[in-house]
Amino acid sequence: MKEHHLSAAPAVRSTPSTPHQSLATGALAERLGIKITEATAQRVVGTMPVAGNTQPAGLLHGGASAAFAETLASIGASLHAGPERHAVGLDLTATHHRPADSGRLTGIATPAHLGRTVATYDVTITDDQGRRIASCRLTCLLRP
């Protein structure tokens, strides 16, 4: 799948489960440099640079990895919800396993639970060497 750079304007993605689903990505995702490379309700993959997303010590900011995870999982939950409902984050947990100070991170969001009113996604964030940087979980309310 072609790599998509997120922008403040809604992007249209075509997936087998929800053709032509419109997803708003937002200014934060653009500011963080998040790019989506794959997006279905069953799997969302994206990348984010470490550069520009660091805390004063030069390491990846924990809030940046949390926002990255929430972006990926929210896209998956929105695709699961379909065009008549919206995914709204209820709970986000993030465990940071190791620091990152350079390179590009890859995040993969997969569903832990896909219900009628709630969707939960697990997100694994790894560095360029495939080492796990963070493990996150997002639960979204699926509302009309």
Whole-angstrom Cα distance, residue 31 to residue 41?
Answer: 24
Under 8 Å CB-to-CB from 113, ≥6 apart: which residues?
119, 120
Whole-angstrom Cα distance, residue 68 to residue 105?
Answer: 10
Helices marked H in the chain? 27-32, 62-81
Q: Which of 3, 30, 38, 70 is catalytic?
A: 70
Whole-angstrom Cα distance, residue 78 to residue 114?
Answer: 11
Whole-angstrom Cα distance, residue 134 to residue 47?
Answer: 14
Q: Is 70 a catalytic residue?
A: yes
Catalytic positions, please? 70
